[in-house]
């Protein structure tokens, strides 16, 4: 049985991002390569595999985020049943779609992963805004084409917003790309109570 909500999210995502047919090409190393060339080819293949893995994970994150569209905002909310605040929404989506546990709060999330510029944004990146006179007071998930999905504020619900909108463009404060390996090592190094 086809999951209609997930299928409609996939269609919406492809329309939103203008996705067309994608093709990947792989270069197979020749058997006569030297060890250095073979190692370089192996490293490049692993990097491509890692990038493809993140692309797949990012797609799951975005599809899961889009499936939460319409869930009401609730300060401190962390589930679709109770409602979401901005960081509760992002944390829930990353946990459900990618099995990644992000820290609580937009400020804490701004400390994980690697910094990326606005021109380097890729779907699945975290985007941060100054909405309460604090540099990292709001967080959302970048979906592509200068759009992000978030749980905005009281009286609203999870929705997609345009980063070019004057409200968001003047409040953008940065973006982070979450690294699953970094999150795992952070979790391992947490002090126990």
Is 140 domain-assigned? yes
> With the CA atoms of 40, 100, 188 and 192 taken in that order, what torsion angle do they form, in degrees rounded to the nearest 10?
170
Q: How many residues does the chain have?
A: 193
Give the active site residues. Answer: 86, 138, 150
β-sheet bridge partners, residue 190: none
Is 95 domain-assigned? yes
* Tokens read off for 125: 């990146």
The residue with tokens 């946990």 is: 95
Is 128 domain-assigned? yes
Is 148 domain-assigned? yes
**CA-CA-CA-CA torsion sign (177, 178, 180, 184):** positive
Is 141 domain-assigned? yes
How far is it, in rounded angstroms, from Cα 75 to Cα 86? 8
The tens place of each residue's pLDDT in the chain, 193 residues long, gives 444 455 455 545 444 544 433 333 334 343 344 455 555 544 444 444 445 556 788 999 999 999 999 999 999 999 999 999 999 999 999 999 999 999 999 999 999 999 999 999 999 999 999 999 889 999 999 999 999 999 999 999 999 999 999 999 999 999 999 976 665 554 444 544 4
pTM equals 0.71
Is 56 domain-assigned? no
**Residue of 71, 31, 51 lying closest to 151 (CA atoms):** 71
Instruction: Kindly calculate the radius of gyration of the chain based on its CA atoms and give it in whole angstroms.
Output: 18
Helices and strands in the chain, H and E counts: 6, 8
> What is the tally of structural domains in the chain?
1
Is 177 domain-assigned? yes
Domain carrying residue 108: 65-188
Is 52 domain-assigned? no
Residue 175 φ/ψ region, left for φ over 0, alpha for ψ in the -120 to 50 degree band, beta for the rest: beta
- The CATH number covering residue 75 comes to 3.90.1720.10
């Amino acid at each position: 049985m086809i999951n209609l909500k997930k299928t409609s999210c996939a269609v919406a995502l492809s329309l939103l991002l203008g996705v067309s047919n994608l093709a990947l090409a792989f270069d197979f190393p020749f058997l006569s390569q030297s060890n250095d060339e073979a190692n370089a080819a192996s490293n490049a293949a692993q990097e491509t595999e890692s990038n493809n893995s993140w692309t797949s994970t990012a797609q799951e994150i975005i599809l899961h985020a889009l499936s939460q569209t319409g869930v009401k905002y609730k300060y401190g909310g962390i589930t679709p049943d109770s409602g979401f605040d901005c960081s509760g929404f992002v944390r829930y989506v990353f946990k459900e779609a990618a099995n990644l546990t992000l820290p609580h709060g937009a400020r804490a999330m701004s400390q994980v992963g690697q910094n990326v510029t606005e021109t380097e944004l890729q779907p699945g990146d975290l985007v941060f805004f100054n909405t309460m006179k604090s540099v990292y007071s709001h967080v959302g998930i970048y979906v592509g084409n200068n759009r992000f999905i978030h749980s905005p504020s009281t009286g609203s619900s999870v929705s997609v917003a345009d980063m070019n909108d004057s409200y968001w463009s003047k409040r953008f404060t940065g973006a982070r790309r979450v690294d699953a390996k970094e999150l795992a090592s952070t979790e391992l190094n947490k002090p126990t109570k």
